[in-house]
């Protein structure tokens, strides 16, 4: 298993320059199933944003390495951050070397879907699906985690956070969605 920091050949001092688009490039060249890995990577970026996980630094992403191919490990260390303010940024850069985009907004991710070899329509399907799952499974997940009523209500107010959805219009809003 190797971290994204290792895959990107960055040391701890350069970690703030780690980017998802560079990780996508590495997966394009070293994954056995690059299309699937890029789709998964994009999905993880948008999920982190939707649940308020801004602690998505390069040590919190990794891949299995068999000496020939990379394959993303299961996601881990996802920690929704309750915040009362608006703007937030992801730890890793989402955009490329020309824009260094890292805002916690799915609209910006959709605009950059090409970096992950996705059409914007595919990117929107991913985000819409995630929003549907968050909406439909929120209470069940809180029940499994045995989250008490007060923290559950606070979390419900910010998952997904309004800033994450700023500028994003769902392709086909589901009934009862908060788009």
What pLDDT, in 10s, does the model give residues 24-73?
999 999 999 999 999 999 999 999 999 999 999 999 999 999 999 999 99
pTM here is 0.91
Q: Is 1.10.1070.20 the CATH number for 2-165?
A: yes
Domain map (residue ranges) of the chain: 2-165
Per-residue pLDDT tens over the stretch 22-33: 999 999 999 999
Using CA atoms, how far apart are residues 65 and 92, in angstroms rounded to an integer?
21
């Amino acid at each position: 298993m190797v971290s994204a920091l290792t895959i990107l050949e960055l040391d701890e001092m350069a970690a703030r320059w780690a980017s998802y688009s560079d990780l996508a490039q590495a997966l394009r060249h070293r994954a056995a199933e690059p299309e699937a890995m890029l789709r998964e990577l994009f999905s993880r970026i948008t999920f982190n944003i939707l649940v308020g996980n801004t602690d998505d630094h390069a040590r919190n992403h990794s891949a299995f390495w068999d000496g020939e191919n990379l394959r993303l490990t299961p996601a881990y260390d996802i920690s929704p951050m309750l915040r009362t303010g608006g703007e937030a940024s992801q730890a890793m850069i989402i955009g490329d070397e020309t824009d260094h985009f890292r805002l916690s907004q799915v609209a910006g991710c959709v605009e950059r879907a090409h970096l992950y070899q996705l059409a914007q329509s595919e990117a929107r399907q991913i985000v819409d699906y995630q929003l549907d799952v968050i909406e439909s499974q929120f209470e069940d997940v809180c029940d499994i985690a045995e989250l008490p009523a007060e923290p559950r209500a606070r979390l419900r107010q910010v998952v997904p956070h309004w800033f994450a959805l700023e500028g994003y219009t769902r392709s086909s809003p589901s009934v009862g969605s908060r788009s």
